[in-house]
Structure 1
Amino acid sequence: MWIYQGFTSRGGAMAALLLLLLPVFFPTLFTTFISASPSILSESIIAKPRHSSLFKSALQRETTPEEKAEIWTPLANQGWKPVTDSGLFSTELSGKSEGYLQVFLDGGLNQQRMGICDAVAVAKILNATLVIPYLEVNPVWQDSSSFMDIFDVDHFIDVLKDDISIVKELPDEFSWSTREYYSTAIRPTRIKTAPVHASANWYSENVSPVLRSYGIAAIAPFSHRLAFDNMPKDIQHLRCKVNFRALVFVPHIRALGDALIHRLRYPASKDEGDGENYPEETNGPQKFVAVHLRFDKDMAAHSACDFGGGKAEKLSLAKYRQIYWQGRVLNSQFTDEELRSQGRCPLTPEEVGLLLAALGFGNNTRLYLASHKVYGGAARIAALRRLFPLMENKKSLASSEERGEIKGKASLLAAVDYYVGMHSDIFISASPGNMHNAMVGHRTYHNLKTIRPNMQLLGQLFLNKNLTWPEFQDAVIEGHANRQGEIRLRKPAKSLYTYPAPDCMCNA
């Protein structure tokens, strides 16, 4: 408790210094302390607004009807469309299966989503029967949700039935092949040497013999273990099919998402009824922006950037990095100015608000906040809320009963945010990451407007404390003129889940 009081008082820096010394003299005590109260390292520090001049101007902004009309205008047809022709999107089911393929996927929801797509592709390459992928417990979010808790497994199997064989669980003769079995010793059926971005030939040469010998092969780790380049076209199409057609959320996630979307579009329905008979507003549905504030404690610490919390915050986040990454964060070698000028710092809620305001969104814009937990809590979000008071999230839109099924389950919470984000008029993320990458690709596939912040430009603008609001706004508008959903062709080594053209799309 004394450390907590120190952080929230004038002696915060001294308390943080004592916290730095604690692991040196009492390492066991420190580890126990961190495990029991990890949030104390950073959550209690209150940061001051960092861009007060711009913020004051943004509060007084006025948006013309022409600006409003332009910002909300949907994307024009760009000449690309999803690959939906069955002759391109379906592959022929091969003959007798070579055996069962298991994969164990780590990471958060969106990293696991990409891993699932790759697992289907590898099963096709190997002519194997895919066992529904096993989702590891994420060490940050501590969520044990399974594939079937998140995704509609029957839909998944049905969509892919002509491409590969899929089973929900192993037959009794292979029931011994579990995560626990592979964690206790070296096993001949486990492949743990799959290189990052392995080729199709690598799997044929290294995994096929295991399948033929034992009738089963388990690959762990698996994330990012399939290359994006030099793949047969049918394998690329299959990955697209999984991502954009086979993976849909379970019905109760979709139902909750639909309810939230309706309450955003028809605000008068927020407190009305049970979701079946919404009152419709006479002026029609409202538009809304989904904002992913990828700004949790883990991200803040890993970025090694300064977020305005003073010396106490710097010391506590430095210690967080030391405990969780043992000096492996390369960003920590650079100053905050260097990181920001290179666009390597996530945008704070305040900075996201200033970006949206400069782009022309008025203070009556409805925002949906798609974030699990924001570092700094309500105090950190306060500036964004002042700029956009019509801001909602899962908690404000859904009843406690509706949230009951997903409470405490990070993957399901993220699934709801993903679903709402896909149905928003505009999506924007505070920094690149798996959610950003997955959403950008999915919305590109459907030609939906998605703002990609120009991180390097914004970092340099926010470093300039003498910048006036007109100068800031002009630079932001110019720097984002072609970053609102325009088709970008995938370059070598880049992910087709982020850049679906040309692998998943046709130039009509």
Structure 2
Amino acid sequence: MVNHRGGSYHTRGFSRRPSFFTIITLCIILLSSCSIFIFLVSTRNISDDDDDDHHKDPLVEHFNSHSQSQSQSQSNFQSGSQSLPVPDEQLWDASFSYGLHPCVKPTSKYKAAQGSDRYITVRSNGGLNQMRTGISDMVAVAYIMNATLVIPQLDKRSFWKDSSTFSDIFDELHFITSLQGDLRIVGELPKELESVPRARKHFTSWSSMGYYEEMTESLKDYQVIHVAKSDSRLANNDLPLDIQRLRCRTLYHALRFSPPIEILGKKLVERLRSRGGRYIALHLRYEKDMLSFTGCTYGLTEAESEELRIMRENTNHWKVKKINSTEQRIGGLCPLTPKEVGIFLQALGYPPSTLIYIAAGEIYGGNTHLSELMSRFPNLVFKETLATKEELKAFARHATQTAALDYIISVESDVFVPSYSGNMARAVEGHRRFLGHLKTITPDRKGLVKLFDKLEIGKLREGWSSLSSLVQKMHKSWQGAPRKRRVALPGLKGKARLRTEESFYENPYPECICSSKAEYEMR
């Protein structure tokens, strides 16, 4: 009976044809149940994935725990980078150059300086690249003033107190002979002129062609003109094409480094190539003088900050003594720290195995500050590890000569990355543009600081791919692609004008970079 009644029950429940509304109701209940089930399962999976991403994100890990081992850091980076693979050509290939070529050949109207009994002597101030660009300016000034240029005396009173002479750093004979079709250059002032009265001039910075034509007339009674400083003596723009090309011939052809520097520089490039084929040259401006000059103390101890403040106070020719370090950093006016450079290169997609040559002087704080870059990129190379002690012995205590080695290695690199826009960064970028717009990645320091700060306080928590995407998008147009030099904003004059325009030596396009192959031929 029980079975029969049970059977009767089912018979009674479903023997009649169900109504349309009953079917709709049952369908809705069934679909709702399935949706709730799927939502719960998906939520659990997403939660698990988020937890995994948080632990695998090398940037979040770094800020939350500084005690991780190097091997764990590399493993995390590799796991995170898989979410945003970057094509090899995007990392290493130079920008498309649109058929542009270097061009330094004079125009058909160009005439060499006629030569006269007037001489210009120069004290070339600053570090290596400030001197190089300054000498190029003075070659052009001597040409405009129709004077004989005496081989410049180099600055021995700078921060490095380097005793190097012109011929220690540059190939003097090559310099004189390669420019003999432009103007007369001599090794020293003739003996009979050593005691004559000299016109000692501090030529106005960023001056035009007209300024020097006026100087030529006003100084016509002097046989010897001594120039106290060589840096930034010529304007960036609005100069005759032949003057601009003379500057390029000087900088990129005539100012060749001395044979010992050239030979060792090329050797070191070959050794880098033998280690990994491709390498990044990182100009890491995290040196004591630079940090003190800019007043940038982010990431330093109180004792280190105080040491830099005292150095700035005691350096007479640094005019600004009180600097707000926080404001400097927010404004993008500070060199990136080694830690920030590591984050930046990771976000661009470079793997931990990337070979990186550190083009710099002594890093402030040594391994204490370098360790956080090295934990991400352990394959760091320095002059001291690439060259033998015997090879570097001749360059000991000559910072300008070792800087020349850095310059050669940086120009020859597959990728050049400057952590600050100083003289070397601008000179190397300009040279690489001249050679074919080789890849130069210039960090947007102001934009990056915002991202770094968000990351540090936990506001940027969407994982590796989020930061990487932001950094790559930010620097898409900052990689040395061809573009004409930025000119000054309209209506500005003086220093305000100069702050808004780009250095000629940072980007010699269009005057020294042309689309016609015929213009590339040397005289």
Instruction: Tell me which interval the TM-score lies in, with the shorter structure as reference length.
Output: 0.7 to 0.9
Which moves more between the two structures, 254-263 or 96-105?
96-105
In structure 2, the partner of 1:124 is: 143
Q: Which has the larger radius of gyration?
A: 2
Judged with a 3 Å threshold, the aligned counterparts in structure 2 of structure 1 residues 112 and 50 are, in CA distance, closer, same or farther, namely: farther
Q: Distance in 1 between matches of 2:107 and 2:114?
A: 20
Matched, 1:386 2:357: no
> Residues 230 and 173 of structure 1: is their aligned pair in 2 closer, same or farther, counting only changes over 3 Å?
same
What secondary structure does 2:375 align onto? helix
Please give the alpha-carbon distance, in whole angstroms, between the structure 1 residues aligned to 2:146 and 2:317.
41
| Contact 2:86–2:349, Cα closer than 8 Å, also in 1 | no
Aligned to 2:130: 111
**Structure 2 residue identity aligned to 1:360:** G
Which sections of structure 1, spanning at least 5 residues, go unmatched?
1-48, 178-186, 268-284
Cα distance between partner residues in 1 of 2:396 and 2:315:
26
Query: d(CA) in 1 for partners of 2:394 and 2:109?
Result: 35
Counterparts in 2 of 1:238 and 1:225: CA distance versus 1, 3 Å? same
1:255 matched residue in structure 2: 263
Residue 473 (structure 2) pairs with residue 499 (structure 1): no
1:411 aligns to what?
400
Q: How many angstroms does 1:228 deviate by?
A: 2.1
Note if 1:222 corresponds to 2:219. Answer: no
Q: CA deviation at 1:325?
A: 5.0
Instruction: Give the superposition deviation at 1:343.
Output: 0.8
| Equivalent residues in 2 for 1:134-149, closer than 5 Å | 134-149=153-168
Change in 2 beyond 3 A, CA 1:92/1:311: same
Letter of the aligned partner of 1:153 in structure 2?
Answer: E
Partner of 1:295: 286
- Given the two structures, how large is their TM-score scaled by the length of structure 1? 0.79
The 8 Å contact of residues 88 and 237 in structure 1, kept in 2 or not, is answered as no
Q: Distance in 1 between matches of 2:295 and 2:273?
A: 38
Which of the numbers 452, 469, 487 marks the counterpart of 2:482?
487
Q: CA deviation at 1:287?
A: 0.4
In the alignment, structure 1 residue 52 sits paired with structure 2 residue 63: yes
- RMSD in angstroms over aligned alpha carbons? 2.4
* Equivalent position of 1:458 in the other structure: 448
Q: Does 1:197 align with 2:203?
A: no
Q: Which residue of 1 aligns with 2:320?
A: 329
Shift of 1:230: 2.5
1:372 and 2:375 are equivalent in the alignment: no
Counterpart CA distance in 2 for 1:58 and 1:145 is: 43
Query: How far does residue 96 in structure 1 lie from its aligned partner after superposition?
Result: 3.6
Give, in angstroms, the shift of residue 222 of structure 1. Answer: 3.0
Conservation of the 8 A alpha-carbon contact between 1:302 and 1:321: yes
Aligned to 1:498, the other structure's residue is in SS state: coil
CA distance in 2 between counterparts of 1:318 and 1:50 reads 33
SS of the equivalent of 1:140 reads coil
Give per-residue Cα distances to partners, 1:191-220, cap 9 Å, x unaligned. Answer: 13x21112222222224443x323211111
1:289–1:425 CA contact under 8 A, matched in 2: yes
Tell whether 2:438 aligns with 1:448.
yes
What's the secondary structure of 1:307's corresponding residue? coil
Closer/same/farther in 2, CA of residues 87 and 125 from structure 1, 3 Å limit: closer
Task: Report the AA paired with residue 206 of structure 1.
Answer: M
**TM-score normalized by the length of structure 2:** 0.77
Counterpart of 1:452, as a letter, is T
Residue 489 (structure 1) shift:
1.4
1:417–1:142: structure 2 CA closer, same or farther, 3 Å change rule? same
Shift of 1:89: 9.5
Partner SS, residue 450 of structure 1: coil
Q: From the superposition, tell whether residues 53 and 325 of structure 1 become closer, same or farther in structure 2 (CA, over 3 Å).
A: farther
Distance 2:90 2:207 in 1: 44
Cα deviation, 1:433-470, whole Å, max 9, x if unaligned, reads: 00001011000111211110111111111222212333
Partner in structure 1 of residue 179 of structure 2: 160
- CA deviation vs aligned residue, 1:249-284 (integer Å, no higher than 9, x gap): 1111111111111111113xxxxxxxxxxxxxxxxx
Task: Decide whether the 8 Å contact of 1:196 with 1:225 is kept in 2.
Answer: yes
Q: Residues 495 and 326 of structure 1: is their aligned pair in 2 closer, same or farther, counting only changes over 3 Å?
A: closer
Q: State the match for 2:336 in structure 1.
A: 347
Counterpart residue number, 2:33: none
Following superposition, the deviation at residue 51 of structure 1 comes to 5.9
1:428 equivalenced with 2:417 (yes/no) = yes
Shift of 1:53: 4.3
Q: Percent identity?
A: 37
- Aligned-partner Cα distance in 1 for 2:289–2:332: 18
Number of aligned positions between the proteins: 429
Unaligned runs of 5+ in 2: 1-59, 488-497, 517-523
Q: 229-238 or 449-458, which moves further after superposition?
A: 229-238
